[in-house]
Amino acid sequence: MESPQHAQPEVSSMLNGHDILITGATGSFGRRCCLEILKRYAPKRLIVFSRDELKQSEMQSDPAFQHPAMRFFLGDVRDKERLKKAMAGVDYAIHAAALKQVPAAEYNPHEFIKTNINGAMNVVDAAIDAGVKKVIALSTDKAVNPVNLYGATKLCSDKIFVAANSYSGKNPTRFSVVRYGNVVGSRGSVLPCFYKQRNTGTITVTDLAMTRFLITLRESVDFVLNAMSQMMGGEIFVPKLPSCTLKEMAQAVAPDCKQETIGLRPGEKMHETLIPADEAHLTLEFDEHFIIQPMLPFWQSEATNLGGRTCKTGFSYASNNNKQRLSRQALQDMCEEIGIPTEVSPESARFEPASCAN
């Protein structure tokens, strides 16, 4: 499947010779983003900022990250002073740090608020104080009309980053957000879960009619870097993505397995929405993506340079009304890309099926 947006020349010129910091850089997205930046560009410093010393140690010992530009900075986005030290001299920042597990959020709301909301405020303050040029934050479909605490904290985070363009005043720091759906192959994603279960002969699904947008790690990195090159401050960038049903995903990975329906978990939606109807009047459509404009006029006259087509009143972009659908072959190709073979051996069940989050 093609990237939602191919790398553009201005990305290279923007990152070459500059200092870049990624919060949560030991996570799935952060590691891949570091790899792609090292492969494509020539940064002066590429700073990994995360709280997990084991994951940092594993990255440092990986030959792929043994590069003179790499820096490893232990710290937590909850700690503003530590962030300020890490941000010193940084030109561009990508905020990928977050607590993400929906059930864990319901049991530990204080912890999610400290990381996802307070942490967002700390990133904003540290970036402004350090004079960072551009900051782009990763968001999620769950921030749209949230029905769980995780989504609510990410909605707050999005609002913080958009409003930060006003908060920064005359400071040159600009902030934007990227919002997309499920990242194939990331920790906790459903396709690897089905792959683990399929030798049992039974896979567990929440609801076969459930639909999801899908994006690969490579595509998400491409989109974030291109959004950073284009951003003027206050935009929410949304890629155009294909979607499919949970049934189609199950058939691609484990076509011969029995499907055990376990029902939706608390706080889970049947379908994903990336652009709600009440934001249609703020949305511009481009060939490969959408931009949700800020409610407040941060852009002034520069907005006319973006182009794009105004969306109709009532427009929404959801996985169940999406015209771009993933074929079974495309799903299987996506699985192969993340190391999941789709040829299933006719083995009998050997273990009890384990429940997986979908």
Contact indicator for 29, 186 with CB cutoff of 8 Å? yes
The per-residue pLDDT for 296 is 79
Name residues whose C-beta falls within 8 Å of residue 250's C-beta, 6 or more positions apart in sequence: 194, 203, 205, 208, 257, 259
Q: Please choose, from the candidates 186, 274, 284, 282, the residue with its C-alpha nearest in 3D space to the C-alpha of residue 238.
A: 274
Residue 24 pLDDT > 70, yes or no? yes
C-alpha dihedral (325, 30, 116, 175), degrees to nearest 10: -80
pLDDT tens-digit series, residues 35-66: 999 999 999 999 999 999 999 999 999 999 99
The torsion defined by the Cα of 26, 182, 33 and 289, in degrees rounded to 10, comes to: -150
Complete DSSP assignment for 123-183: HHHHHHHHT-SEEEEEEEGGGSS--SHHHHHHHHHHHHHHHHHHHTTTS--EEEEEEE-EE
Which DSSP string do the residues of 297-322 spell out, in sequence order? Answer: --SGGGGGGS--EEPPTT--EETTT-
Instruction: Tell me the residue length of the chain.
Output: 358
Whether 138 has a pLDDT exceeding 90, the answer reads yes
Assess whether pLDDT exceeds 50 at residue 246: yes
% the chain with pLDDT above 70: 89
Is 3.50.50.60 the CATH classification of the domain at 9-181+216-241+275-318? no
Assess contact for 198 and 344: CB atoms under 8 A.
yes
- Written as one letter, the residue type at 258 is K
| Start-to-end CA span in the chain (Å) | 22
Tokens (6 digits) for 328: 């079974």
> What is the pLDDT averaged over residues 83-87?
98
Mean pLDDT for the chain? 88
Q: Which residues contact 304 (CB under 8 A, 6 or more apart)?
A: none
Q: How far is CA 267 from CA 39, 93, 106, 270, in A?
A: 39, 31, 9, 10
Among 91-95, 117-121, 262-266, the range scoring the smallest mean pLDDT is: 262-266
- Looking at residue 300, what is its pLDDT? 54
Task: Check residue 299 and give its pLDDT.
Answer: 62
Q: What pLDDT was estimated at residue 192?
A: 84
Convert the pLDDT of each residue in 314-344 to its tens digit.
999 999 999 999 988 888 888 888 888 876 5
Report CA-CA distances (Å) from 272 to 8, 145, 245, 275: 29, 10, 11, 9
Asked if the model's pLDDT at residue 345 lies above 60, the reply is no
Give residue 324's pLDDT: 94
Sign of the Cα torsion 45, 50, 53, 56 reads: negative
Whether residue 110 has pLDDT greater than 90 = yes
Convert the pLDDT of each residue in 194-238 to its tens digit: 888 888 899 999 999 999 999 999 999 999 999 999 999 999 999
Integer angstrom CA distances of residue 3 from 33, 146, 237, 287: 14, 27, 15, 13
Greater confidence (182 vs 143) lies with: 143
Please state, for a pLDDT cut of 90, what percent of the chain lies above it.
67
The stretch 135-151 carries a mean pLDDT of 96
Position 188 scores a pLDDT of: 67
Q: Is the pLDDT higher at 65 or at 1?
A: 65
Active site residue 114: no
* Per-residue pLDDT, 306: 73
What distance in Å separates the CA atoms of residue 179 and residue 168, rounded to the nearest whole number?
Answer: 22
- For the entire predicted model, the pTM comes to 0.90
Question: Is residue 154 predicted with pLDDT exceeding 60?
Answer: yes
pLDDT at 353: 36
Task: For residue 17, give the 3-state DSSP assignment.
Answer: coil
Q: Which of 169, 78, 98, 175 is nearest to 132 (CA)?
A: 175
Catalytic pick among 134, 142, 240, 269: 142
Full DSSP string of 243-284: EEEHHHHHHHH-TTSEEEE--PPTT--SS-EEE-GGGGGGEE
Chain centroid offset of residue 236 CA? 12
- Give the strand pairing for 134-140 and 92-95: parallel
